[in-house]
Amino acid sequence: MTAAGKKRKPFWEAKLLKEMDADEWESLCDGCGRCCLHKLEDADTGEVFYTNVACRLFDAESCRCSDYPRRTEHVDDCVVLKPGETAEYSWLPTTCAYRRLSEGKPLEWWHPLVSGDPETVVQAGISVKGRTVAEELVDEDQVEEHIIRWVRSDRKA
């Protein structure tokens, strides 16, 4: 095959996370909303448990942050993802593109960059749309009762 006949790899396969520009980086987010769920961490094992309780800034309708540009001004512990070491992404859901790429895994068929359609994230059951409870409705000492199994980080200390 000639060089001209070779199909060019998409940026998420051709580049490392740290080589991506700002637009490429942002486009990796599939909009699933999983990282906006409250998590509990086992202090002994480091295991992370996801709950269905959504951050107070999470808009359940759009499944997006309601003030993404100023999110850290509202929510102190909102983590702004940046290119880093694989271990830094270990708390993220196993489905998250940043985590998958950092672990050398491909994007799944339902990722909007692959499918060309943001709805595939919902169709594949990856989106949290319609499956969350507002933070305001849950007492802090009841969050544990909201642990879910359909979002996992599988992190161990």
- The angle subtended at Cα 146 by Cα 141 and Cα 152, nearest 5°, is 125
Strand blocks (E) in 15-95: 37-41, 48-54, 58-59, 64-65
Q: Is 55 in the site for ligand SF4 (CB under 6 A)?
A: yes
Q: Is 58 in the site for ligand SF4 (CB under 6 A)?
A: yes
Question: What type of residue is 132?
Answer: T
Q: Give 2 or 140: the residue with its C-beta nearer to ligand SF4.
A: 140
- The angle subtended at Cα 118 by Cα 24 and Cα 102, nearest 5°, is 40
Among residues 104, 103, 87, 106, the alpha carbon closest in space to that of 48 is found at: 87
Q: What is the dihedral of CA 53, 57, 61, 62, to 10 degrees?
A: -120
| Number of chain positions touching ligand SF4 (CB under 6 A) | 22
User: Residue 33 in contact with residue 24, Cβ under 8 Å?
Assistant: no
List the end-to-end C-alpha distance of the chain, in Å, as a whole number: 47
Q: Is 35 in the site for ligand SF4 (CB under 6 A)?
A: yes
Q: Is 60 in the site for ligand SF4 (CB under 6 A)?
A: no
Residue from the set 30, 53, 143, 153 that interacts with ligand SF4 by CB under 6 A: 30
Q: Give 75 or 147: the residue with its C-beta nearer to ligand SF4.
A: 75
Mask for 89-118, x = binds ligand SF4 (CB under 6 A): ---xx--xxx--------------------
- Piece in contact with ligand SF4 (CB under 6 A), picked from 8-16, 24-32, 45-53, 131-139: 24-32
Q: What would the two tokens of residue 10 be?
A: 């998409």
Q: How near is the Cβ of 92 to ligand SF4 at its closest, in Å?
A: 6
Query: Which positions touch ligand SF4 (CB under 6 A)?
Result: 29-36, 55, 57-58, 65, 71, 74-75, 78, 81, 92-93, 96-98
